[in-house]
């Protein structure tokens, strides 16, 4: 292959071959969207493709796919590929998603009815080679080896998605003992199992190569078949018909009429917006980052830079600049520094005006006059500011001693409300998407920046970058507000009255943190470490030897070979040993090894959680989590560093971890308050189902009341199993639960699950009607909405891709209920915070975990705080049924349970 960088290079990929290999290389259980769509084949294929684009730097690209299993070869030989099993159910539909990825990457797909992808590739490779191109063929089909020349290299996938072998003519001859021009001859003799082409029994690569080289190719071997001695010769003569059949079918067609030629497939880069939309739906955050790191999007992406008069302010010059430029009109603000753990440190501040000057200053270099001026300007609500992701900035300013007010637009929150399904809201990306401008400091002569230096070092690239961010934030706010205004003002109201005020409340909660008993956590960590070791030793004793409990290969050998347990789901490396499969296997068999394995996994996870909490405890003895408002598309908050919403509560050992969260010095106890069955209450409100509303208004156990209705038994005679089944039904329906899903959840037959659902809908017909209506309405409108008008746009409801359409339908069922619950909780937090401030109580709100709030109670304030919390949470939003609030108190989080 040519080393000349100017020689055009064509990359040809066998789509089905690579997709299938990707499916078996990556565990399907680890790659799916939150709606349940399997994506392992899509992820693996896309990952391989990105690697090849990065490493091989092709100038032209084509991906070929088979149209169907029928081709001219099956016409010649009906059993061609007949032994190939039907594609696994999770694989089905992923090829169409791969084609959508290729469309977003602007890579052409070529198919030819009646032919295979190999033939398309052979035709394009031949044309490209004759046209002077270098050619790379990525395929897991060894038939492609016959195409290798000094201008054509085969990229043959090995294990996993990153192992690729470069099969040059020399490499092919070294492995198979014949040159590529004779590979078809060799394949005819040895056969190809995957194509159901049987070869000569007892003849392998070495024997076939020996004959081919000795007799001058397959023609010579056939002509001299009578002279080949021994059993191999007898076998050859007995199977000559199959050999000739194989040779005929192995031939690749190199002269197809196709819709494009190699020169038409020049690759200009990927479509940024299309990739965003698709990768958001597929939840491919890592792959999107790799695209940004390795490859250029379609140009021109940025129409221009930012025309900005930028000034680095000297000591003593900040107050006057703010007075002149940052008074009445909104300004963009951007900061640099360190952020996290409920605090921060500001190292630089940039302020940009609309169409005018921008300035940067160092907070550590302010004189007394400037310090007072900056503090007054930041704290003044009448001096409007626009900030991207204001909460970390607010915390960093607070650590400096400043108060931040007057934030009119947080562009991160605005972008989240505009497109809640994105997986990130980076300012650089948003500037490109909305403003078509690049946040980049270029050479001084590009006209992008006009810099003014007043006795300072002119090496100011870092400061210029921050000023550009401030200006981009200001410009971005105008565009985003205009977009949010298109729904009649609902989204603008959510931004101004809910999300932005909530970020201030969350900042306060992050700053306060929650006290942790580190001595208890250390003791707990030691206990869990001992439990991990005990479970490991128990497994070793049962098996009779030591083995690695984390090795799937060793587990497969022990469980399915040595112990003869029923095999789990088939995967490429054998049979799955994931937690769900082993739990079911243990339920079915009770095997003691499985008991130890499951115990080991449980306590190892608990130990890891405790380790994380210990590392997250700050010097003040408190854990300061970070609350995220822009992660969940439904509007729910999430928690990171550490994730306090992931502390288990349904097991005794999980509750032991909650005991480590304790009341802090100067406070009396912790109080928890949560909404009881809020999703079902919202379901009753939205569906207007009379029977469901009556069940709530009865004041009795809701699940028992609904079970009584479904099973036609008096309330007092509802047993635990009946209540369990209806509880699963009640919650499951709100998330699009199917009869199959219900049967798995309750370990009952699909027939019984169907009957249960039918009976449920007979009693609660309004729920059935609502579930049907919400999807139909969302399909018509293109979005769903919560009780506060929060929209989730679902364009895939009308997608031609059935898998993406089904994903969107599940989202349409889920979003209004879960999103309304999130909105009501956010309203409650704002109301509780305002009431605490006006009441003069010194108790404080520390955590929000799903439907629960955690408070630190000041001495003597338990009763007034409980009354305040019950009132404000219970009246957060008027539903057709009451919002029931449960409250508990204790010296630790677990003790405050109720």
| pLDDT tens digits, one per residue of 683-701 | 999 999 898 898 888 877 8
Which of the two residues, 196 and 572, has the higher pLDDT score?
196
Range with lowest mean pLDDT among 240-254, 382-396, 400-414 = 240-254
Mutual orientation of helices 802-839 and 94-104 as an angle, nearest 10°? 70
Percentage of the residues of the chain whose pLDDT score is greater than 70:
93
Work out the average pLDDT over 528-545: 93
Q: Which of 268, 278, 273 is nearest to 298 (CA)?
A: 268
| pLDDT for the residue numbered 454 | 42
Residue 416 has pLDDT above 90, yes or no: yes
Residues in contact with 429: Cβ distance below 8 Å, sequence separation at least 6, in sequence order: none
Backbone angles phi, psi at 754, to 5 degrees: -60, -45
Backbone angles phi, psi at 841, to 5 degrees: -70, 145
| pLDDT for the residue numbered 447 | 38
Interatomic CA distance for residues 639 and 659, integer angstroms? 19
State the first-to-last Cα distance of the chain, in angstroms, to the nearest integer: 72
Residues in contact with 664: Cβ distance below 8 Å, sequence separation at least 6, in sequence order: 514, 515, 621, 622, 856
| pLDDT for the residue numbered 572 | 60
Interatomic CA distance for residues 648 and 657, integer angstroms? 8
Interatomic CA distance for residues 828 and 835, integer angstroms? 10
| pLDDT for the residue numbered 732 | 76
Work out the average pLDDT over 664-678: 95
Query: What are the helix and strand counts (H, E) for the chain?
Result: 35, 28
| pLDDT for the residue numbered 21 | 86
Q: Which of 145, 138, 215 is nearest to 176 (CA)?
A: 145
Interatomic CA distance for residues 91 and 538, integer angstroms? 38
Range with lowest mean pLDDT among 39-43, 69-73, 529-533, 570-574 = 570-574
Interatomic CA distance for residues 700 and 677, integer angstroms? 13
Residue 213 has pLDDT above 90, yes or no: no
Looking up tokens 């939840």 gives 283
Interatomic CA distance for residues 607 and 530, integer angstroms? 10
Residue 455 has pLDDT above 50, yes or no: no
Tell me the pLDDT tens digit for each residue of 108-161: 999 999 898 999 999 999 999 999 999 999 998 888 899 999 999 999 887 666
Highest mean pLDDT pick, 251-255, 304-308, 506-510: 506-510
Residue 451 has pLDDT above 80, yes or no: no
Tell me the pLDDT tens digit for each residue of 824-867: 999 999 999 999 999 999 999 999 998 999 999 999 999 999 99
Residue 448 has pLDDT above 50, yes or no: no
Confidence of residue 728 (pLDDT cuts 50, 70, 90): confident
Work out the average pLDDT over 667-674: 96
Work out the average pLDDT over 754-781: 87
Residue 464 has pLDDT above 80, yes or no: yes
Highest mean pLDDT pick, 201-215, 587-601, 713-727, 794-808: 587-601
Q: What is the mean pLDDT of the chain?
A: 87
Confidence of residue 304 (pLDDT cuts 50, 70, 90): low
Residue 877 has pLDDT above 60, yes or no: yes
Domain at 308-513, CATH class? alpha beta
Mutual orientation of helices 183-190 and 240-250 as an angle, nearest 10°? 140
CATH architecture of the domain covering 9-173+252-265: 3-Layer(aba) Sandwich (3.40)
Beta strands in 15-89 (DSSP E): 60-64
Residue 26 has pLDDT above 90, yes or no: no
Range with lowest mean pLDDT among 296-310, 312-326, 556-570 = 296-310
Looking up tokens 């209506």 gives 773
Domain at 526-623, CATH class? mainly alpha
| pLDDT for the residue numbered 581 | 81
Residues in contact with 241: Cβ distance below 8 Å, sequence separation at least 6, in sequence order: none
Which of the two residues, 328 and 741, has the higher pLDDT score?
328
Q: What is the pTM of this model?
A: 0.74
Residue 548 has pLDDT above 60, yes or no: yes
* In the chain, where the domains are located: 9-173+252-265, 308-513, 526-623
Residue 180 has pLDDT above 80, yes or no: yes
| pLDDT for the residue numbered 299 | 43
């Amino acid at each position: 292959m040519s080393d000349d960088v100017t020689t055009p290079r064509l990359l040809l990929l066998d789509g089905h071959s690579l997709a299938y290999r990707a499916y078996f290389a990556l565990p399907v259980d680890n790659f799916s969207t939150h709606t349940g769509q399997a994506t392992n084949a899509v992820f693996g294929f896309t990952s391989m493709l990105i690697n090849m684009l990065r490493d091989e730097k092709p100038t032209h690209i084509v991906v070929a796919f088979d149209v169907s299993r029928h081709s001219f070869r099956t016409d010649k030989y009906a059993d061609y590929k007949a032994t190939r099993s039907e594609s696994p159910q999770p694989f089905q539909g992923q090829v169409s998603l791969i084609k959508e990825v290729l469309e977003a990457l602007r890579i052409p797909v070529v198919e030819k009815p009646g032919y295979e992808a190999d033939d398309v590739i052979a035709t394009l490779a031949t044309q490209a080679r004759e046209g002077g191109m270098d050619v790379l063929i990525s395929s897991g089909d060894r038939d492609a080896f016959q195409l290798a020349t000094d201008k054509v290299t085969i990229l043959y996938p090995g294990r996993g998605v990153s192992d690729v072998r470069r099969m040059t003519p020399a490499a092919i001859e070294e492995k198979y003992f014949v040159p590529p021009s004779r590979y078809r001859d060799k394949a005819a003799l040895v056969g190809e199992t995957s194509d159901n082409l049987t070869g000569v029994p007892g003849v392998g690569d070495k024997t076939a190569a020996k004959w081919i080289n000795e007799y001058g190719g397959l023609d010579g071997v056939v002509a001299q078949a009578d002279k080949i001695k021994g059993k191999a010769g007898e076998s050859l003569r007995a199977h000559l018909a199959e050999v000739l059949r194989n040779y005929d079918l192995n031939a690749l067609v190199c002269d197809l009429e196709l819709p494009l030629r190699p020169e038409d497939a020049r690759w200009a880069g990927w479509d940024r917006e299309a990739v965003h939309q698709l990768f958001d739906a597929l939840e491919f955050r890592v792959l999107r980052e790799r695209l940004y790191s390795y490859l250029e999007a379609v140009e021109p992406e940025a129409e221009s830079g930012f025309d900005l008069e930028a000034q680095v302010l000297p000591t003593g010059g900040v107050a006057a600049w703010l007075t002149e430029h940052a008074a009445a009109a909104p300004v963009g603000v951007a900061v640099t520094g360190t952020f996290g753990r409920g605090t921060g440190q500001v190292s630089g501040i940039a302020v940009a005006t609309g169409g005018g000057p921008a300035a940067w200053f160092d907070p550590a270099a302010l004189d007394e006059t400037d310090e007072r001026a900056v503090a007054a300007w930041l704290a003044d609500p009448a001096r409007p500011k626009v900030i991207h992701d204001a909460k970390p900035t607010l915390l960093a300013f607070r650590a400096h001693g400043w108060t931040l007010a007057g934030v009119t637009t947080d562009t991160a929150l605005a972008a989240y409300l505009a497109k809640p399904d994105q997986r990130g809201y980076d300012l650089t990306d948003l500037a490109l998407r909305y403003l078509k401008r690049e946040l980049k400091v270029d050479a001084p002569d590009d006209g992008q920046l006009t810099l003014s230096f007043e006795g300072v070092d002119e090496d100011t690239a870092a400061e210029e970058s921050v000023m550009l961010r401030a200006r981009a934030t200001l410009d971005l706010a105008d565009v985003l507000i205009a977009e949010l205004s298109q729904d009649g003002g609902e989204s603008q109201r959510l931004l101004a009255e809910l999300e932005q005020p909530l970020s201030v409340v969350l900042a306060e909660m992050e700053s306060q943190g929650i006290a942790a008993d580190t001595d208890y956590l250390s003791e707990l960590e030691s206990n869990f470490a001992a439990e991990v070791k005990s479970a490991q030793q128990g497994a070793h004793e049962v098996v009779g030897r030591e083995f690695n409990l984390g090795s799937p290969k060793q587990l497969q050998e022990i469980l399915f070979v040595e112990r003869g347990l029923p095999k789990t789901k088939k995967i490429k490396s054998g049979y799955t040993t994931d937690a769900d499969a082993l739990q079911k296997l243990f339920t079915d068999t009770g095997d003691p090894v499985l008991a130890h394995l499951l115990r080991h996994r449980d306590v190892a996870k608990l130990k890891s959680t405790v380790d994380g909490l210990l590392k997250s405890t700050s010097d003040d003895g408190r854990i300061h989590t970070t609350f995220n408002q822009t992660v969940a598309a439904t509007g729910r908050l999430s928690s990171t560093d550490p994730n306090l919403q992931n502390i288990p509560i349904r097991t005794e050992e999980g509750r032991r971890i909650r005991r480590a969260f304790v009341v802090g010095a100067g406070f009396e106890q912790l109080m928890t308050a949560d909404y009881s069955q809020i999703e079902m209450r919202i379901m009753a409100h939205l569906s207007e189902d009379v029977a469901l509303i009556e069940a709530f208004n009865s004041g009795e156990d809701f699940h028992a009341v609904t079970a009584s209705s479904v099973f036609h038994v008096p309330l007092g005679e509802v047993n635990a199993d009946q209540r369990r089944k209806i509880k699963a039904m009640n919650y499951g329906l709100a998330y699009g639960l199917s009869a199959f899903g219900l049967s798995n959840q309750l370990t009952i037959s699909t027939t019984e699950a169907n009957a249960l659902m039918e009976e449920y809908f007979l009693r609660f017909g309004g729920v059935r009607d609502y579930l049907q209506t919400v999807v139909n309405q969302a399909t018509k409108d293109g979005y769903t909405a919560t009780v506060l008008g929060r929209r989730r746009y679902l364009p895939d409801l009308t997608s031609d891709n059935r898998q993406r359409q089904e994903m969107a339908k599940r989202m349409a069922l889920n979003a209004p209920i879960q999103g309304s619950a999130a909105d009501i909780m956010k309203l409650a937090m704002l109301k509780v915070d305002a009431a605490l401030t006006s009441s003069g109580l010194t108790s404080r709100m520390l955590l929000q975990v799903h439907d629960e709030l955690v408070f630190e109670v000041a001495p003597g304030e338990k009763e007034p705080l409980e009354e305040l919390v019950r009132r404000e949470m219970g009246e957060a939003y008027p539903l057709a049924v009451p919002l029931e609030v449960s409250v508990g108190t204790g010296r630790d989080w677990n003790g405050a349970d109720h």
